[in-house]
Amino acid sequence: MLRDASLDRKDLSVSDARARLFDIIKSRSVLTGGDFKLAGGGQSSVFFDMKMTLLTPEGLDLASRLLIELMGDDPVDAVAGLVLGACPLVDGVSLRSLDMRAAAPIRALYVRKEPKDHGTTKLIEGEVQSGWRVVVLEDVTTKGGSSLKAVEQCRQAGCTVDTVLTVVDRQGGAEERMAESDVELRALYKMEEFV
């Protein structure tokens, strides 16, 4: 699908950017009519294949911009995400912050599910410092397990983590589960908007 050359993303209002990203997700990433296994172990007839959106320049740029907007004026030292699903978002938000938060750009961190068996064997890739405020990013949340793994690893490194931002919340209990860990879940979209 070719990008509409008449769309200049820099001139899009937040509401227009949100509408444009919604259209991209709906056309590229929402799969229906199957019996899909979810990361949390459940089954669903609707699956969000977010790589089909986030591995395109326009999709990633729009999502990154909107996630930074969703942060508001909160001070953020770094964004983190669990490898591999959140990696495009972590990179995109960090890069976009050079323009949108030029006075205090946001660093990028990758959180591994388990340490590598070679090299440094670190669970967090990238520079991380105790005391930093970190926001965890996710492409899709259902129950929130993946995000909470990233939250826990960052907290163990001495960071403050009280927010998870997701592109799509499947409304499968993640918001409530995160609240139990003193984490606020903020979503660009809810599943009910797509189905």
Query: 123 by DSSP, 3-state: which?
Result: coil
* Tokens, residue 191: 């599943």
Query: 114 by DSSP, 3-state: which?
Result: coil
pLDDT of residue 120: 78
Query: Percent of the chain scored above 90 by pLDDT?
Result: 79
Which has the minimum average pLDDT: 7-16, 40-49, 93-102? Answer: 7-16
Query: 108 by DSSP, 3-state: which?
Result: strand
Tens digit of pLDDT for each residue in 102-149? 999 999 999 998 877 777 788 999 999 999 999 999 999 999 999 999
pLDDT band at 90 (very low <50, low <70, confident <90, very high): very high
Domains of the chain: 67-193 (3.40.50.2020)
* Tokens, residue 108: 């990028």
More confident call, 2 vs 136:
136
Parallel/antiparallel/unpaired status of strands 124-125 and 43-48: unpaired
With contact defined as beta carbons under 8 Å apart, do 108 and 79 qualify? Answer: yes
Q: Averaged over 168-173, what is the pLDDT?
A: 96
For the entire predicted model, the pTM comes to 0.92
